[in-house]
């Protein structure tokens, strides 16, 4: 039977209401479709008991904090923005291992949620976890591919009870629910963004400098691919972004030797993120992306296009 978003919404609102009872709950939006859908369902289920927050980790998309503020305002959601940039950069100092980074981020999110929950006397955390998140985090006896920050990245001890209304859904189903809920297309059709943010697009240790590089590079990739899609040159990939390698290579700028970073451009076709094929981007679009990245980001001297499918690769680098 095909997935029925209307029916799902009715059932889910009822289930959330039952789970939360008379307690207060907090939920965090990240700007992505999953968290906005979960927050909207929760707002329908327990209005007046819900506290919506947005954590600025410093590892979000360019201009994301302003965008989230605007969307929340348009949806009539009262939003509390928490500036946690220093906390995340300090916490990630010296951490190079992908799973270690994910655990640090998961833990920091929960500690911040707990602090906010205390202020609003909330007993529940409503999260937009979807099926691939827990499947890839080793759910139901599967191997852990990566600990999604909202599942395997959670600390063992936490003071909040979880409520995860989208747990059984895949991304395309979440999009259908978002559309049915009346969310703007810019949200329900938005490309996925990983919970740990740009940290999984920076291979190795995260620094503020690297976060800025990858943020600017992602912006260029999104810009150019959006323009190419609009011009009818290619179909919209499922996900498209840039990542940063930790090593530098030699190049030239003007007449001088330069020693600069390498950016990887990634674009994939997928239905649910569980498997993916790299997108065939027209060469003129790739060239424009490369030229813009090396011109606009002076510390990047090389751009490569990732032609790996999943498997054996994953969509994100870490
Ligand atoms: P991978 O890299 O595992 O990504 O092929 C599959 C999809 O999941 C996103 N992703 C995450 N989403 N928390 C999330 O909410 C995470 O920790 C996480 N890690 C990866 C990724 O962007 C892709 O859409």
Specify whether the CB–CB gap between 294 and 303 falls below 8 A. yes
At 87, list the tokens.
């906390």
Question: Can you give the pLDDT of all 318 residues of the chain as single tens digits?
Answer: 899 999 999 999 999 999 999 999 999 999 999 999 999 999 999 999 999 999 999 999 999 999 999 999 988 889 999 999 999 999 999 999 999 999 999 999 999 999 999 999 999 999 999 998 898 888 878 888 878 877 766 777 888 999 999 999 999 999 999 999 999 999 999 999 999 999 999 999 999 999 999 999 999 999 999 999 999 999 999 999 999 999 999 999 999 999 999 999 999 999 889 999 999 999 999 999 999 999 999 999 999 999 999 999 999 999
* pTM (global) more than 0.75: yes
Class of domain 5-188: alpha beta
CA-closest residue to ligand 1 atom 16: 148
Specify whether the CB–CB gap between 20 and 43 falls below 8 A. no
CA-closest residue to ligand 1 atom 17: 148
Beta carbon of 149 within 6 Å of any ligand 1 atom:
yes
CA-closest residue to ligand 1 atom 21: 194
Q: Which of 29, 100, 147, 148 to mutate to test the pocket of ligand 1 (most atoms within 8 A of CB)?
A: 148
Specify whether the CB–CB gap between 136 and 145 falls below 8 A. yes
Beta carbon of 196 within 6 Å of any ligand 1 atom:
yes
CA of 129 to the centre of ligand 1 (A): 11
List C-alpha distances in Å: 172 to 33, 35, 54, 110, 130.
10, 14, 24, 27, 11
Closest ligand 1 atom number to CA of residue 310 = 5
List C-alpha distances in Å: 2 to 7, 135, 204, 270.
11, 22, 42, 19
Using the 8-state DSSP alphabet, how is residue 313 labeled?
Answer: S
Closest ligand 1 atom number to CA of residue 102 = 17
Spell out the domain ranges in the chain: 5-188, 207-305
Beta carbon of 301 within 6 Å of any ligand 1 atom:
no
Class of domain 207-305: alpha beta
């Amino acid at each position: 039977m095909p997935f029925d978003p209307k029916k799902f919404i009715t059932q889910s609102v009822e289930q959330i209401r039952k789970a939360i009872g008379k307690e207060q709950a907090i939920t965090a939006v990240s700007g992505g479709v999953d968290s906005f859908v979960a927050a909207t369902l929760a707002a329908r289920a327990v209005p007046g008991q819900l506290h919506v927050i947005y954590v600025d980790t410093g590892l979000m998309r360019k201009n994301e904090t302003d965008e989230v503020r605007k969307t929340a305002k348009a949806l009539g959601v009262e939003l509390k923005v928490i500036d946690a940039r220093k906390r995340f950069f300090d916490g990630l100092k010296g951490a190079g291992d992908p799973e270690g980074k994910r655990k640090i981020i998961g833990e920091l999110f929960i500690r911040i949620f707990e602090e906010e929950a205390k202020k609003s006397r909330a007993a529940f955390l409503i999260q937009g976890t979807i099926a691939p998140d827990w499947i890839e985090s080793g759910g139901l006896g599967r191997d852990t591919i990566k600990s999604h920050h909202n599942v395997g990245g959670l600390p063992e001890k936490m003071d909040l009870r979880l409520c995860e209304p989208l747990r059984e859904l895949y991304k395309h189903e979440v999009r259908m629910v978002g559309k049915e809920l009346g969310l703007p297309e810019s949200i329900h059709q938005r490309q996925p963004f990983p919970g740990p943010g740009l940290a999984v697009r920076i291979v190795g240790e995260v620094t503020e400098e690297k976060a800025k590089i990858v943020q600017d590079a992602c912006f260029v990739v999104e810009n150019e691919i959006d323009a190419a899609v609009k011009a009818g040159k290619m179909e919209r990939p499922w996900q498209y972004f840039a990542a940063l390698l930790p090593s530098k290579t030699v190049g030239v700028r003007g007449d001088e030797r330069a020693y600069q970073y390498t950016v990887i451009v990634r674009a994939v076709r997928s239905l649910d993120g569980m498997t993916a094929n790299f997108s065939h981007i027209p060469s003129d679009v790739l060239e424009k992306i490369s030229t813009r990245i090396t011109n606009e980001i002076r510390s990047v001297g090389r751009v490569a296009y990732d032609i790996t499918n999943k498997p054996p690769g994953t969509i994100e680098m870490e």
